[in-house]
Structure formats: C-alpha cells, structure tokens
Amino acid sequence: MKLRFCVIAAFVLSYAVAAPAKSEVADAAQHGDKAAVRSLVQKRADVNAPQIDGTTALHWAVQANDLELVDSQIQPGNNTAKINAQWRKSYGFENLRFIFLWQNPKDSWVIVSVASNLMLNGECDEFEEGGYLSGSVSNLNVDARLNVLEWWNQPPTSPFPQATQAQHVLTLSASGGGVLSNLGGGTVESATVAGTFDLSRSVFLIPPNGVAVFEVTLAFVYDNSDGGMVQVNFASSGFQVMCPSLVIGILS
C-alpha cells in the first residue's frame, strides 16, 4: 500500500480531461445555495470540478452562524475570516466553520487521513455587573474542532470522533460580585487568544465516488446570568482566524 497526499484549500487534486468539467457545485456554493449544493451532490455532480478561474466549491464555504462575519478571503494557503460577537442572552453555542468538500475519484473504497489547523489571533472579554449580595456571572469556552460528515448518507452521518479532532483553546470566567466582596462595582476579565491548533483524523473510510465534508470549526459556548456580557473580537487590526488548508492522505 502507498500513501498519497492532496491539499484541499485553494486548489484540489486535479485530473486530465479532454474538455473543461462542469462546475455546478462550485457555482451553487458561490451563490450560497445550500439546497442546490446538496441536490447536485446527491445527483453525483463532480464536487472537484473547478470554475473557469480554478476555484472550487471548497473555496466558498465559510459560515459564521450568529457571529458577525466582518470579512473573509479564500486564497491558496490563506483562508481567513474576521469575526466579532457580543452575547447578552443567558446561554448559547455559536461557531465559525471553514467547510471543505472532497469526492473520492475512485470506483473503489479508499481509506484517508485528514489534517488541518486553525491559526488564531484575537481576544475575549467578559463584562460583569456588581450587585448587593451577588452580581452577574459569565463563562466562555472556546474549542477548535474537525467535524467529519459522511455526505453519501442523507441526512449526513459522522464516524465516532477521535481525540485528535478537537483542541481546547480557552476557558474564561468572571463574576461581578456583591457588596461584601468588591463593593458591587462589577468586573472585567480579558484573555488574548493566539496560537496554532492542529486537528486531524487518522482513519476515515469513503465509498466509491463518495463525497465527504470536513468542517474546521472554531466553537464558542457561553452562559450569562443576571446581566453579564461576553464579547469576542477576531476582527480588529491584525486579529483574524486562519485555516490555511486541509490535507488528505490517501492510503491505497
């Protein structure tokens, strides 16, 4: 058996063809038409077919739920996003996802390994109000994750996760306190988020011509009580989230 690698980001593993391949999947993804992408995949459209400029569907899939997506760009080895958020509601889960699609080009099953990373530069803050007996309380957990989806099943399924598919980034907690602790004046807790977080899966089995979806995710879980606020900033100045590429190792 031999191991081959392909990098999925600003380019994909390409194959020689007599004429340009149709790019319906990439076109639909560029226009944000998720229903059309799903339909085309089910009809076995070529996920790896590039558009005229060489871009594929992989390049357009950056999603940011209830986060404010200030800016994003997709370039070879330089997929980035700038995000902001402020949360005052009691509890929530939000995430930024870099989504990659890959189709097994073979008429036989393949075993692949997957590797990617998130390069983070930003800050997180918690603002708590003081009270008489107790003030507001907030907690924030930030994690980097690699989600693997088996799109040949509908609805998509996921294999049992491996420990290497997640890394903890940050835990931040703050309490406003009461009169007896800090005169009810409230408090602010801040933390810088900087570094590279590697994510991988060693074994993933894909059927003939099967389509797999890989989500490289920055996940935020927060809770507030009695008036607290959580804020994240990956947009100011040089702050950003970067996912350079996703590498697939094909064992054949």
Q: In sequence order, what are the beta bridge partners of 124?
A: 191, 232
Q: What is the dihedral of CA 21, 24, 26, 31, to 10 degrees?
A: 150
Contact 130, 185 (CB under 8 A): yes
Rounded Cα distance between 64 and 98, Å, is 9
Rounded Cα distance between 198 and 113, Å, is 14
**What tens-digit pLDDT sequence spans the chain (252 residues)?**
555 655 554 222 222 223 334 567 666 666 656 677 667 666 666 666 665 555 544 544 566 556 888 888 777 678 889 999 998 877 889 999 888 888 888 899 999 999 999 999 999 998 876 555 455 788 899 999 999 999 899 888 999 999 999 999 999 988 765 544 444 456 788 999 999 999 999 999 999 989 898 999 999 999 887 777 899 999 998 999 999 888 888 886
Bond prior to 155 in cis (omega within 30° of 0) = yes
pLDDT at residue 64, as a whole number: 58
pLDDT at residue 75, as a whole number: 72
pLDDT at residue 6, as a whole number: 56
The angle formed by the CA atoms of residues 9, 47 and 93, to the nearest 5 degrees, is 60
Rg, the chain, Cα only:
21
The β-bridge relationship of strands 80-87 and 91-103 is unpaired
- Global pTM reads 0.78
